[in-house]
A and B are shown apart, each in its own frame.
Chain A
């Protein structure tokens, strides 16, 4: 039980440090716009990749 609490505390600490690191950083408008464009591109690619992979499985072409 004590070990579980310790692990939980470590995980929470890591998450909060990550949040502080990511949200506390100064970022320019241009950099943020670039990140948004990359994210939107990744979304399109991810959807296509998932569809392609699962299509192959559904059609029995996955080996």
Chain B
């Protein structure tokens, strides 16, 4: 919960998030924001999918979990969110790699994409209720 709040606080100051400090420091901020969202998603889906699994008719029939459409939808949404966090983390990693081989300009331009990806992820998490406790 604390990490989620930190992520939200970081994301609520995009001006500073994009321009304050060295590239490494800003990439670290981006990393912290993504890690906070990932942690929130983990806690949210562990609870949400558990509740859904308890209501699956397959519990009584002994059929495989794949027959429980609601649980599959929960897994799919979780995968989508985790794919988003991993994609943002890979971009941060790539920016660091570019910086290390002296391609600072390319790394800097990638940071703009990273910021956009993080804001997209935040929108998605809000839509799914991970950050606001909605659906």
Q: Which residues of B contact A25 (CB under 8 A)?
A: 28
Given contacts A15-B6, A23-B28, A43-B38, A29 and B96 within 8 Å (CB-CB): yes
**Bound complex: CA of A43 vs CA of B75, how far in Å?**
13
Q: Which residues of B contact A37 (CB under 8 A)?
A: 93
Residues of B77-116 contacting chain A, CB below 8 A: 78-79, 82, 85-86, 89-90, 92-93, 96-97, 99-100
Q: Chain A at the B interface: mostly helix, strand, loop or mixed? A: helix
Decide if A39 touches B29 in the complex (CB within 8 Å): no
Q: Which residues of B contact A7 (CB under 8 A)?
A: none
Q: Chain B at the A interface: mostly helix, strand, loop or mixed? A: helix
**Bound complex: CA of A14 vs CA of B45, how far in Å?**
26
Mask, B61-82, CB within 8 Å of A = 1, is 0111100100100110011001
Decide if B62 touches A60 in the complex (CB within 8 Å): yes
Decide if A58 touches B32 in the complex (CB within 8 Å): no
Mask, A22-63, CB within 8 Å of B = 1, is 110111110011011101101100110011011101111000
Q: How many residues of B contact A (CB 8 A)?
A: 48
Q: Which residues of A contact B32 (CB under 8 A)?
A: 22-23
Given contacts A32-B31, A36-B93, A60-B60, A53 and B86 within 8 Å (CB-CB): no
Q: Name which residue of chain A comes closest to B97, CB basis.
A: A33
**Bound complex: CA of A63 vs CA of B33, how far in Å?**
38
Binding site for B on A (CB under 8 A): 14-16, 18-19, 22-23, 25-29, 32-33, 35-37, 39-40, 42-43, 46-47, 50-51, 53-55, 57-60
